[in-house]
């Protein structure tokens, strides 16, 4: 195939991310979110929250990373953020590596390599952009869940303490003001 055919075949394959259902619901509670629209929402979050980041972030890197950070879910599926058993984490990692091989392998070499490196940078979590995108990736479902009355947490028996333990370490450092805002909302969940 030509390079343009490869790029467009990746574009069509990427469409399947719209069918991957996440656990959390939209802010109005009407339905569960899919991973494609979640990834868009993270791109928007990166744009509006970059001015609040503790470490300066390169916006192009952060936004592009947000758009690709979950694309491996096309093959690997979504894993609930609170499913942190070691066997689950290891199995997820293996599924996602295979998915990355296949999906980024569809693209022209240069673009595929760049996108894979962005995904790996995100997974490694060792750059300001990766820490920032990971923070908004935790913050976004937390805020949506709090907006719609915490259905997902109630369904899965997630207490406010557990939500804090799972999210605070990722959010507070990169985005302290955003964490303070989310924590104030979380305190209301605890109280009811």
**Binder to a copy of itself among 75, 127, 147, 166 (CB under 8 A)?**
147
Are the CB atoms for 107 and 12 separated by under 8 Å? no
Are the CB atoms for 141 and 35 separated by under 8 Å? no
Contacts of 65 (CB under 8 A, 6+ apart): 118, 119, 121, 122, 129, 130, 133
73-112 footprint of a copy of itself as x/- string (CB under 8 A) = ----------------------------------xx-xx-
How far apart are CB 89 and a copy of itself at their closest, in Å? 26
Q: Which is nearer to a copy of itself, 81 or 136 (CB)?
A: 136
**Binder to a copy of itself among 64, 81, 103, 171 (CB under 8 A)?**
64
Distance CA 129, CA 126 (A): 8
Tokens of 90: 């290891």
**Looking at 56-64, 77-85, 90-98, 126-134, which segment touches a copy of itself (CB under 8 A)?**
56-64
Query: Which stretches of the chain are DSSP H helices?
Result: 3-14, 35-49, 59-68, 73-76, 86-105, 109-124, 128-147, 151-155, 160-171, 176-191
Beta bridge partners of 34: 21
Query: Does 133 participate in binding a copy of itself (rule CB under 8 A)?
Result: no
Distance CA 116, CA 69 (A): 10
6-45 footprint of a copy of itself as x/- string (CB under 8 A) = -xx-xxx-xxxxxx------xxx-x--xx-xx-xxx-xxx
Query: Does 151 participate in binding a copy of itself (rule CB under 8 A)?
Result: no
How far apart are CB 51 and a copy of itself at their closest, in Å? 6
Distance CA 166, CA 35 (A): 20
Residues lying near a copy of itself in the complex (CB under 8 A) are found at 2-5, 7-8, 10-12, 14-19, 26-28, 30, 33-34, 36-37, 39-41, 43-45, 47-49, 51-52, 59-60, 63-64, 67-68, 71, 107-108, 110-111, 115, 140, 143-144, 147, 177-178, 180-181
């Amino acid at each position: 195939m030509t390079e343009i055919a490869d790029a467009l075949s990746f574009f069509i394959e990427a469409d399947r991310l719209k069918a991957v259902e996440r656990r959390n619901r939209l802010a109005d509670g009407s339905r569960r979110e899919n991973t494609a629209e979640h990834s868009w929402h993270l791109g928007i979050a990166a744009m509006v929250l970059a001015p609040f980041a503790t470490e300066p972030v390169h916006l192009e890197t952060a936004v592009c990373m947000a758009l690709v950070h979950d694309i491996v879910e096309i093959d690997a599926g979504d894993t609930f953020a609170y499913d942190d058993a070691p066997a689950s984490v290891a199995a997820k990692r293996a599924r996602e590596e295979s998915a990355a091989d296949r999906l980024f392998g569809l693209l022209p070499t240069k673009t595929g390599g760049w996108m894979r490196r962005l995904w790996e940078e995100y997974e490694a979590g060792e750059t300001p952009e990766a820490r920032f995108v990971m923070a908004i990736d935790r913050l976004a479902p937390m805020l949506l869940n709090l907006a719609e009355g915490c259905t997902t947490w109630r369904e899965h028996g997630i207490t406010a303490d557990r939500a804090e333990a799972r999210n605070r370490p990722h959010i507070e450092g990169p985005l302290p003001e955003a964490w303070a805002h989310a924590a104030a909302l979380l305190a209301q969940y605890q109280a009811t």
